Chain A
Amino acid sequence: MLLVNLILILLLGGALVWWAERFGDHWPRQLALAIVIGDLLYLLRGLTFIAPEKFALVPEAINPDSWLLAWSAEWIPRFGIEFSFAMDGLSLILVLLTLVLGAIAIVSSWDEDNPRQGFFQANILWTLAGVIGVFLAMDLFLFFLFWEVMLVPMYLLIAIWGHEGKSYASMKFFIFTQFSGLLMLVAIVLLAIVHHGTTGEYSFSYFDLLDTPLEQNTAHWLMLGFFIAFVVKLPGFPVHTWLPDAHTQAPTAGSVILAGILLKTGAYGLLRFTLPLFPGASLDFAPIAMLLGVAGVIYGAILAFAQSDFKRLVAYSSVSHMGFVLLGIYAWNTLALQGAVMQMVAHGFSTAALFMIAGALQQRLHTRDMDQMGGLWRQMPRMGAVALFFALASLGMPGLGNFTAEFLVLVGLFAVDPWMTAAAALGLITAAIYSLIMMQKAFYGAPDEGRNLQDFGKLEMTAMAVMIIALIHLGLFPQPVFDLVQPVLDSMAVEVAPISQLQVAP
């Protein structure tokens, strides 16, 4: 029930926040922040009731007790559709990330005077609810429902409170995700039908569908349906083009959520659904997926360098970083998969922070064009230092989470394909190029003395400090995350080969 409450609190909270609009603009944001933090505390409190040894338990499909938390109820029994939620280590990490970044997103738009505050905050809460639903749903139909639920409020966030090109960007975002989502729906329905064909029962339950025997050809097509949906969200090259527009045009909070959380649903989907449901087909597909990953890493980095729009640069850096996730997932061994999960978390923090800085800059300078910035360090040393930290995180500074992630991904990948690794390692160099050029253009150089700018305030610095500490923690003490995720990787139907068994190509 905790899992359902987690979502309900956000959904109903959203309505409440919308209603609270009538009492003034500061009410909705305070209320929204309180709701998200309350949700987080509620989850943490719930976790204390779970026996500690359960965290090391391998979650098995047939045994709900082996999951950290599970809950289900009938919905449409005729088609075997259930309200089925379950949480294991992977979902837990991502839900925590969602709630923390959700709170940060609300803080990030604290000083912006968005019209219709209540509806704005409500949309944020609803998006969070959808995302958490995606991370917890164990019924494919329900999963798809949440997949769509998180899309609509996000679309509204961009379309209503976005910047100058918002209608184009929001439409593009919507069409890309919607279209790919439809492919997934088709794949889900077909999978259920195939399952019906073999067992005579309709079921959309993840656990039932796991062992559906599939012909190779069918499996390939269905896998593609899921893969495309997830890789669009990830986003992987070459279906990434919605992302720069959406990120650039979204309001700050939208960008933070989009980059920090929404992209992770794609990676989560790949890990949770594509690989376990279609292990054989995914293995066949792995080389292509990895190629896409490498292409994303390099392409994103090159394009990031070319941008003069601060947000666009960060957006392309996301493409580059999420390429590592794709690589890690399809490199298909424990190290790389752990790296991919770590990258999801670390990238969530680093990119969210960079978008927050971008938003703060836009709010103060009314431009995102870095050619019109420069010398901001003098006027806003705190913001400069924070930006520097996250730029370094983004370029893969050892000791921070992103490095841990990228290193593990690449170590894992090296055992599979050294050449691909060498190509991806170019991403390390290009990441340095774009991150540093960003610092140079925005914060270094001669200051424009005429500007009178407000540095980061206490609230913003608190949010930043949370993310800084998180990244350092992930960089120096990443073990808790690994321990949480390890049972999940063990449970996946895919044969996750330990690194020692892999043959290195000469």
Chain B
Amino acid sequence: MLQAIWLIPLFPFVSSVLLMVTAGRMPRTMVALLGAGSVGLSALVVLGAGLEFMRAPEPFTLTLWHWMQVDGFNPEFAFYFDQLTLVMMSVITGVGFLIHLYSTEFMQDDRDYSRYFAYMNMFVAAMLILVMADNLLLLFLGWEGVGVCSYLLVGFWYEDPANGAASRKAFVVTRVGDAAMALGLFLLFTELGTLTIQPMLEAANQTWASGDTLAALAALLLLGGAVGKSAQLPLHTWLPDAMAGPTPVSALIHAATMVTAGVYLIARTHGLFLLAPDVLLLVALVGLITLLLAAFTALNQHDIKRILAYSTISQIGYMFLALGVGAWSAGIFHLMTHAFFKALLFLAAGAIIHCLHHEHDIFKMGGLRKKLPVVFWSFMIGAAALAALPFTAGFFSKDQILLSAFELHAPIAGIGPWLWAGGLLGALLTAIYSFRLVFIVFFGAAQTEPDKQPGWRMAGPLSLLCVLSIIGGWFVLPLSSVFPAADGHHVSGLVEGISIGVPLLGVAFAWLIYYRRSLPVTGITESDSGVALRGYWYRGWDFDRLYDSLLVNPFVAVSSALKSEWVDAIYHSVVRFCQALHRGLSQSQTGKMRWYATSMVFGLIALITLLGWVY
């Protein structure tokens, strides 16, 4: 079974190609079968391979063919399989299959049914290649592949130009990170002579001492790629807009899998980041700041999907924080639990949107607790896990992260508690905004009547994800051999207690503010500065405006200024000079014989004068 892991990305890839080639001529049931079935098959192969692998957990490489071989640059088309890969593949194919299944119902009425599944399958294939890649070039192939699929799926409903703009933004912003990452690859190859990840990390260990400038630069460039893909500061602005795509897309790509690719990249190359402690701290800080900024923003959104998008940014911030403080396993653990509960939340949100005539505004929902019970309970569980209420999946992973952060002492002594405190504030906000959502959408007076109920293909995945969101925390990830061992936590019970208590406090706040409406907050929120601040947060701290005026507008201005081809002006001036000369000379051609004679005399005089001069 292990030798057959190449089948895993192949199934969705072949299915995707088939769907593309048939171009919508296939019957819908067939499309659904192919689209969801191929991912299901992959999931089965992952299951089989995983079971076999866990019996004798020895990482191995499967080389398919030599990709290129030029002067020492010989990346292979090869897959690397270890525990980390296994975890990632399980998440991708498992959650991916559930979301595909859900999509077969969600997208039922769409006219481009088969195009949707073609893109989705292609995405799964690319994502699998990303996590299975044995070298960074192949990883980059998957990396760009998922980027393209994300672009295609965000802009899936292409007839609305706004969707096109959102998808372009998503692609271009991540592309900025990708360019940095590409530079990182160049640097790594030039310095270390290989891009195959494991030998490269070994070479890095031997070549560079801890804190080496080049190592830091390489790590920084990779981080650039990671923040782009994972929507962290400063390249996070694309994710909220990316919600323009169909909701299952948001669940799969923009919550569960693709956006966590950055986390995976850093975890995969952690050996490099360990050589650059400063960059590692930067990772933690980026994560912390992002999670706080995004949480504040999420608190003020109206669009249910945007709230979830900001919450995703925020949760990935936690993962970065985990990576930054060296809690690698915790980061991946959170990645997995987040994939469960965020996919659940998105799918539940999708179900609401599906049943509510594509309504996105939470203030036009309300009272859905009774109307859509399955969705309500799914959402409830998802929100609980997101808020990290005790014994949900999110609780365990987030708790590990916060405790690891608390214990961080290097490279700046005493920084750990600050990181912990920041994370805790984030947790509080997370609890508030997630239950704000729950209370506004599902409680209170009904605003819009649902016109249908989710069918089994939607309810089934929801229920399964509910289960995973609850029990996911009890999974023990077999990552100890991949990452450097972390010591057990030695924090006091007080710290532990606060970590547990804060989310509950947040839920309580949310209950008081949004359900009972008994907390007198309107005085603050409706004051002038309150309104201004909320507007500011609502616009995502005005990052879009900043980038517009800093990058987008200058680029457009430069390009339209250059459009007239100033370079051509040089050539045109040569042309004009020749034309002027031509006009002057042709005007001398008066056609008057006498003038010709006279000019001959002029010439004669000149000639004789010249001769006289010379002799």
Indicate if A touches B (C-beta under 8 A).
yes
Closest beta carbon of chain A to B224's beta carbon, Å = 11
* Beta-carbon contact of B72 and A498 below 8 Å: yes
* Beta-carbon contact of A444 and B71 below 8 Å: no
* Beta-carbon contact of A428 and B179 below 8 Å: yes
**For the complex, what is the distance from the CA of A477 to the CA of B158, rounded to whole Å?**
33
Closest beta carbon of chain A to B138's beta carbon, Å = 8
* Beta-carbon contact of B562 and A499 below 8 Å: no
**For the complex, what is the distance from the CA of A404 to the CA of B73, rounded to whole Å?**
12
**For the complex, what is the distance from the CA of A398 to the CA of B71, rounded to whole Å?**
20
Say whether A399 faces chain B, with CB atoms less than 8 Å apart.
yes
Say whether A85 faces chain B, with CB atoms less than 8 Å apart.
no
Say whether B101 faces chain A, with CB atoms less than 8 Å apart.
no
**For the complex, what is the distance from the CA of A305 to the CA of B140, rounded to whole Å?**
25
Chain B neighbourhood of A265, CB < 8 A: none
Chain B neighbourhood of A452, CB < 8 A: none
Say whether A381 faces chain B, with CB atoms less than 8 Å apart.
yes
Say whether B183 faces chain A, with CB atoms less than 8 Å apart.
yes
**Interface of A (DSSP majority class):** helix
* Beta-carbon contact of B71 and A498 below 8 Å: yes
**For the complex, what is the distance from the CA of A238 to the CA of B569, rounded to whole Å?**
11
Contact with A along B168-206 (1 / 0, CB 8 A): 100110011011101101110111010000000000000
The segment out of B141-149, B254-262, B331-339 that lies at the interface is: B141-149
**For the complex, what is the distance from the CA of A502 to the CA of B165, rounded to whole Å?**
43
**With A334-B71, A428-B179, A499-B73 in contact, do A504 and B158 touch (Cβ < 8 Å)?**
no
Q: Which residue of B lies closest to A302 (CB)?
A: B559
Chain B neighbourhood of A433, CB < 8 A: 168, 172, 555
Say whether A307 faces chain B, with CB atoms less than 8 Å apart.
yes
Q: From the candidates B72, B151, B152, name the one contacting A500 in the complex (CB within 8 A).
A: B72
Which residues of B (553-599) have their CB < 8 Å from a CB of A?
A: 555, 558-560, 562-563, 565, 567-568, 570-571
Q: Which residue of A lies closest to B177 (CB)?
A: A429
Say whether A432 faces chain B, with CB atoms less than 8 Å apart.
yes
Say whether A493 faces chain B, with CB atoms less than 8 Å apart.
no
Say whether A440 faces chain B, with CB atoms less than 8 Å apart.
yes
Say whether A385 faces chain B, with CB atoms less than 8 Å apart.
yes
* Beta-carbon contact of B559 and A303 below 8 Å: yes
Say whether B155 faces chain A, with CB atoms less than 8 Å apart.
yes
The segment out of B60-68, B478-486, B524-532 that lies at the interface is: B60-68
The segment out of A47-55, A128-136, A410-418 that lies at the interface is: A410-418
Say whether A26 faces chain B, with CB atoms less than 8 Å apart.
no
Chain B neighbourhood of A381, CB < 8 A: 23-24
Chain B contributes a number of interface residues (CB within 8 A of A) equal to: 58
Chain B neighbourhood of A378, CB < 8 A: 159
Say whether B69 faces chain A, with CB atoms less than 8 Å apart.
yes
**For the complex, what is the distance from the CA of A237 to the CA of B568, rounded to whole Å?**
11
**For the complex, what is the distance from the CA of A196 to the CA of B60, rounded to whole Å?**
64
* Beta-carbon contact of A477 and B65 below 8 Å: yes
**With A407-B137, A407-B182, A414-B187 in contact, do A443 and B69 touch (Cβ < 8 Å)?**
no
Q: Which residue of A lies closest to B151 (CB)?
A: A436
Say whether A479 faces chain B, with CB atoms less than 8 Å apart.
yes
* Beta-carbon contact of B159 and A447 below 8 Å: yes
* Beta-carbon contact of A422 and B183 below 8 Å: yes
* Beta-carbon contact of B559 and A305 below 8 Å: yes
Say whether A299 faces chain B, with CB atoms less than 8 Å apart.
yes
Say whether A306 faces chain B, with CB atoms less than 8 Å apart.
yes
**For the complex, what is the distance from the CA of A412 to the CA of B161, rounded to whole Å?**
40
* Beta-carbon contact of B67 and A476 below 8 Å: yes
Say whether A375 faces chain B, with CB atoms less than 8 Å apart.
yes
Chain B neighbourhood of A303, CB < 8 A: 559, 562-563, 565
Q: From the candidates B161, B560, B563, B568, name the one contacting A445 in the complex (CB within 8 A).
A: B161
Say whether B164 faces chain A, with CB atoms less than 8 Å apart.
yes
Say whether B372 faces chain A, with CB atoms less than 8 Å apart.
no
**Interface of B (DSSP majority class):** helix
Q: From the candidates A238, A421, A478, A502, name the one contacting B183 in the complex (CB within 8 A).
A: A421
Closest beta carbon of chain B to A223's beta carbon, Å = 23
Q: Which residue of A lies closest to B163 (CB)?
A: A444
Which residues of A (235-291) have their CB < 8 Å from a CB of B?
A: 237-238, 240-241, 244
Say whether A397 faces chain B, with CB atoms less than 8 Å apart.
yes
* Beta-carbon contact of B141 and A444 below 8 Å: no
Contact with B along A470-506 (1 / 0, CB 8 A): 0000001111001000100000000000111010100
Chain B neighbourhood of A498, CB < 8 A: 71-72
Chain A neighbourhood of B568, CB < 8 A: 241
Chain B neighbourhood of A305, CB < 8 A: 555, 559
Say whether A2 faces chain B, with CB atoms less than 8 Å apart.
no
Say whether A377 faces chain B, with CB atoms less than 8 Å apart.
yes
* Beta-carbon contact of B24 and A436 below 8 Å: no
Chain B neighbourhood of A335, CB < 8 A: 70-71, 73
* Beta-carbon contact of A482 and B68 below 8 Å: yes
Say whether B208 faces chain A, with CB atoms less than 8 Å apart.
no
Q: From the candidates A306, A377, A392, A478, name the one contacting B158 in the complex (CB within 8 A).
A: A377
**For the complex, what is the distance from the CA of A116 to the CA of B65, rounded to whole Å?**
50
Chain A neighbourhood of B20, CB < 8 A: 385
**For the complex, what is the distance from the CA of A407 to the CA of B140, rounded to whole Å?**
11
* Beta-carbon contact of A444 and B164 below 8 Å: yes
* Beta-carbon contact of B563 and A410 below 8 Å: no
Say whether B77 faces chain A, with CB atoms less than 8 Å apart.
yes
Say whether A190 faces chain B, with CB atoms less than 8 Å apart.
no
**For the complex, what is the distance from the CA of A480 to the CA of B427, rounded to whole Å?**
55
Q: From the candidates B69, B73, B145, B164, name the one contacting A440 in the complex (CB within 8 A).
A: B164
Which residues of B (371-413) have their CB < 8 Å from a CB of A?
A: none
Q: From the candidates B159, B165, B562, name the one contacting A299 in the complex (CB within 8 A).
A: B562
**For the complex, what is the distance from the CA of A298 to the CA of B571, rounded to whole Å?**
21
* Beta-carbon contact of B145 and A398 below 8 Å: yes
Q: From the candidates B24, B144, B167, B567, name the one contacting A398 in the complex (CB within 8 A).
A: B144
Q: Which residue of A lies closest to B559 (CB)?
A: A306
Q: Which residue of A lies closest to B69 (CB)?
A: A479
* Beta-carbon contact of B144 and A338 below 8 Å: no
* Beta-carbon contact of B190 and A432 below 8 Å: no
**With A241-B571, A429-B176 in contact, do A414 and B190 touch (Cβ < 8 Å)?**
yes
Chain B neighbourhood of A414, CB < 8 A: 183, 186-187, 189-190
* Beta-carbon contact of B562 and A302 below 8 Å: yes
Which residues of A (443-460) have their CB < 8 Å from a CB of B?
A: 443-447
Say whether A466 faces chain B, with CB atoms less than 8 Å apart.
no
Chain B neighbourhood of A504, CB < 8 A: 190-191
Say whether A425 faces chain B, with CB atoms less than 8 Å apart.
yes
Closest beta carbon of chain B to A306's beta carbon, Å = 4
* Beta-carbon contact of A429 and B179 below 8 Å: yes
Q: Which residue of B lies closest to A439 (CB)?
A: B164
Chain B neighbourhood of A436, CB < 8 A: 151, 167-168, 171-172
Chain A neighbourhood of B69, CB < 8 A: 479, 482
**For the complex, what is the distance from the CA of A60 to the CA of B190, rounded to whole Å?**
31
Q: Which residue of B lies closest to A477 (CB)?
A: B65
Say whether A426 faces chain B, with CB atoms less than 8 Å apart.
yes
Which residues of B (251-292) have their CB < 8 Å from a CB of A?
A: none
Closest beta carbon of chain A to B223's beta carbon, Å = 16
Chain A neighbourhood of B176, CB < 8 A: 429
Looking at A307, A422, A486, the one whose CB has the most chain B CB atoms below 10 A away is A422
**For the complex, what is the distance from the CA of A333 to the CA of B68, rounded to whole Å?**
16
**For the complex, what is the distance from the CA of A212 to the CA of B160, rounded to whole Å?**
64
Chain A neighbourhood of B555, CB < 8 A: 302, 305, 433
**With A478-B68, A482-B69 in contact, do A410 and B158 touch (Cβ < 8 Å)?**
no
* Beta-carbon contact of B23 and A385 below 8 Å: yes
**For the complex, what is the distance from the CA of A303 to the CA of B565, rounded to whole Å?**
8
5 A-B contacts (beta carbon < 8 Å) = A398-B141, A411-B185, A411-B189, A428-B178, A499-B71
**In the A-B complex, the 9 residue pairs with the closest CB atoms:** A414-B186, A398-B141, A306-B559, A444-B158, A334-B71, A306-B563, A241-B568, A440-B164, A425-B179
Extra inter-chain contacts (5) besides given A410-B186, A478-B68, CB under 8 Å: A334-B70, A335-B70, A398-B145, A443-B158, A444-B164
Q: Which residues of B contact A (CB under 8 A)?
A: 20, 23-24, 65-73, 77, 137, 140-141, 143-145, 148, 151-152, 155, 158-161, 164-165, 167-168, 171-172, 175-176, 178-180, 182-183, 185-187, 189-191, 193, 555, 558-560, 562-563, 565, 567-568, 570-571
